[in-house]
Amino acid sequence: MIKVLLLFSFLFFGNLIAQDQAVADSTELIQNFSEEKLEKADFDTENIENYKADKAFDYLEKIEEDSWWTRLKRWVNLKWNAFLQWLFGDYQTNAFWNAVLTALPYVLLILVLGLITWLFIRLNPGNAVMTEPITGKVNLKKEEDIVKSADIYSLIDEAIRNQNYRLAVRYLYLKSLRLLDQKEHISYRFQKTNEDYINEIKENEIKNQFTKITRLYDFIWYGDFELSKERFEKVNREFTQMENNLKTGDNG
């Protein structure tokens, strides 16, 4: 029992003596440090500014402005992380697979956009919107053949019998172009526009009547406007007037 008491006393008083010695050493160190002559450090202000301007020493992260692109990326990341959490749970992948999984949603997004673009080009829906209706398209080579050599009168009669009055108006207009060309009021070329022919005509009466039938023709043919028999007869009278003006011009 006495030995235990002696051992306890030795450890207790020995610890006190060690603590006192440590305090004494620390006090002496502080006194020595305070007695030393300290000099103020002098920094080169110009060099500091140069370092601050050097991008290599700019360790601050640039804050990305919030835009539709950042919001989209944030949304994609949230959805993708939720999917991975559902798929793998708390499983931690290595650095390689982590990089692959991070880039995968953007790769899929690019593939989807590429597929949409390919389908858009393949199907080419823009043509159906931007071009004229199919029934109003004009084959210029066919138009040239009709004006120069076809029996337009037979074509007109056939279209009227079939009650295809729009087509009849087209043939009536081509017949007017043929007559104007024959009487040298215009020089017919299939690549010319109707406005070109209007500008070529010098005689005002013929020019005014041709302008009128041109407006009717554009509205009916290119506007895909269907005609009743009564309306066609009114339009046909304007083309008849065009022919009468040409005959009057020849007689004059």
What is the per-residue pLDDT for 37?
56
146 part of a folded domain: yes
In a domain, 56, yes or no: no
Distances in Å between the alpha carbon of 38 and those of 28, 33, 42? 18, 9, 13
> 184-209 as b/e, with b when 16 or more CB fall inside 10 Å?
ebbebeeeeebeebeebbeeeebbeb
Is 52 a domain residue? no
What's the confidence (pLDDT) of residue 130? 46
Residue 35: predicted pLDDT: 52
Instruction: Report residue 173's pLDDT band, with 50, 70 and 90 as the boundaries.
Output: very high
The reply to whether 35 falls in a domain is no
Structural domain span for residue 101: 70-123
**Does residue 156 sit in the same domain as residue 186?**
yes
pLDDT computed for residue 136 by the predictor:
43
The answer to whether residue 182 is domain-embedded is yes
Q: Is the dihedral of CA 135, 140, 142, 144 positive or negative?
A: positive
Whether 75 is in a domain gets the answer: yes
Q: Is pLDDT at 219 greater than 80 in this prediction?
A: yes
pLDDT higher than 70, residue 200: yes
| 242 and 140 both lie in a single domain | yes
Do 212 and 145 share a structural domain? Answer: yes
Instruction: Please check the confidence at residue 138 and state whether its pLDDT lies above 50.
Output: no
Report the pLDDT averaged over residues 177-204. Answer: 90
Task: Identify the band that residue 4 occupies on the pLDDT scale cut at 50, 70 and 90.
Answer: very low
User: Could you give the CA distance from residue 9 to residue 15 in angstroms, rounded to a whole number?
Assistant: 10
119, 138: one domain: no
Where is average pLDDT lowest: 15-24, 62-71, 123-132, 191-200?
Answer: 123-132
Task: Give the mean model confidence (pLDDT) for residues 45-63.
Answer: 68
Could you tell me if 150 and 81 lie in one domain?
no
Confidence check: pLDDT of 131 > 70:
no
**Helix residue ranges, H only, 89-228:** 95-123, 125-130, 140-148, 152-161, 165-182, 194-200, 204-217
Task: List pLDDT tens digits, range 86-125.
Answer: 666 655 556 776 676 677 777 777 888 888 887 777 665 4
pLDDT given at position 176: 92
Q: Total domain count for the chain?
A: 2
Residue 135 has pLDDT above 50, yes or no: no
Residue 157 has pLDDT above 90, yes or no: yes
Residue 124: what pLDDT? Answer: 56
Ranking 4-18, 85-99, 146-160 by mean pLDDT, the lowest is 4-18
58 is a domain residue:
no
